[in-house]
Structure 1
Amino acid sequence: MKFLVCILFLGLAAAGIVEVEDCGSSAEIVSLEFDGCDEKPCSVYHGTHATGRINLKANSPTNTLTCKLAGVVGVIELPFNGCPSDACASMTSGDCPVEAGETLVYELDFEILDLYPTIEVTAKWRLLDDNGDDFMCFLLPIVIKD
């Protein structure tokens, strides 16, 4: 039993649960686990993948979810092609079509390419519903490092 408790504790330490700023989600953001992050800004490194899980509760139905990712620097929002467009394929719990009241777990995975500048930026991660509205939208400060 002690072994299982230790494994669980180590898993939670490796996947830091971080608070995010909701930027207009229709779904409820229950929690975000961002691997390797225990304080903001979260550090991500060139040549690696930023990964984690977001737990959501749907407040409205949708047949599809489309991922959009941007970096916000000051007032400038720069789109990234870093997340697979079909967000339904990245669900490890729940599926599409999404029903109101359904609990979802979306796996985050974004490659930090060497061509990205070493910079502090706010990641804006969105999942769009059938109408192009924000099913999920959150802001998370990150710093890209070598």
Structure 2
Amino acid sequence: MDVRAGLVVLLCVMGFTCAVPVKFIDCGSPSGKVAMVDINPCASQPCQLHKGQSYGVNVTFHSAVESQTSTAVVHGVIAGVPIPFPIPMEDGCKSGIQCPIQKQQYYHYVTALPVKTEYPAIKLVVEWELRDDNKQDLFCIKFPVQIVS
């Protein structure tokens, strides 16, 4: 076990909230490449999202294009049907990204994923896109979650 892994295990044992890198599927990112996805807190997968709480989402990606803007679009996919999922901040340039986005640079998209109390308890797939000026995906990822009471 390397030193970093040992430190993570130690902090988890001490009771700190632990996030593990989320396993995701790239659903088409012609303008970029995702390096890592974190949801906090998410100690196991699929991430259990508790109603009434908010979760931190951090996507590290590499841009293959320049773009003045970035816009997030999120869907919950239930039985193969994408249902729009509102997020508090759609503007990626106000979510940890310094715009304009430069070609061949890494960025950390950081935002919140609120889970409303009226959402049903259900397993679903989240599809999260961040689009550039031309409405092409800087990234498109899918990952499973479970909404719980």
Q: TM-score, normalised by structure 2?
A: 0.85
- 1:77 is displaced (CA, Å) by 0.5
For residues 125 and 88 of structure 2, the distance between their equivalents in structure 1, rounded to whole angstroms, comes to: 16
CA gap 1:65/1:31 in 2 versus in 1, 3 angstroms: same
Contact residue 89 and residue 111 of structure 2 kept, 8 A: no
**2:134 is the counterpart of 1:131:** yes
- 1:54 matched to which residue of 2? 59
- 1:6 is displaced (CA, Å) by 3.9
Count residues with an aligned counterpart. 141
SS in 2 for 1:10: helix
SS in 2 for 1:85: coil
Contact residue 17 and residue 38 of structure 1 kept, 8 A: no
Contact residue 70 and residue 77 of structure 1 kept, 8 A: yes
- 1:117 matched to which residue of 2? 120
User: Root-mean-square deviation (CA), in Å?
Assistant: 2.2
For residues 127 and 144 of structure 1, the distance between their equivalents in structure 2, rounded to whole angstroms, comes to: 23
Contact residue 72 and residue 91 of structure 2 kept, 8 A: yes
Identity of aligned residues (%): 26
Contact residue 57 and residue 113 of structure 2 kept, 8 A: no
Letter in 1 for 2:139: M
Contact residue 44 and residue 112 of structure 1 kept, 8 A: yes
- 2:26 matched to which residue of 1? 22
- 1:123 is displaced (CA, Å) by 0.4
CA gap 1:16/1:108 in 2 versus in 1, 3 angstroms: farther
- 2:89 matched to which residue of 1? 84
CA gap 1:80/1:9 in 2 versus in 1, 3 angstroms: same
Between Structure 1 and Structure 2, which shows a larger proportion of strand residues?
1
Letter in 2 for 1:54: V
For residues 110 and 117 of structure 1, the distance between their equivalents in structure 2, rounded to whole angstroms, comes to: 16
SS in 1 for 2:20: strand
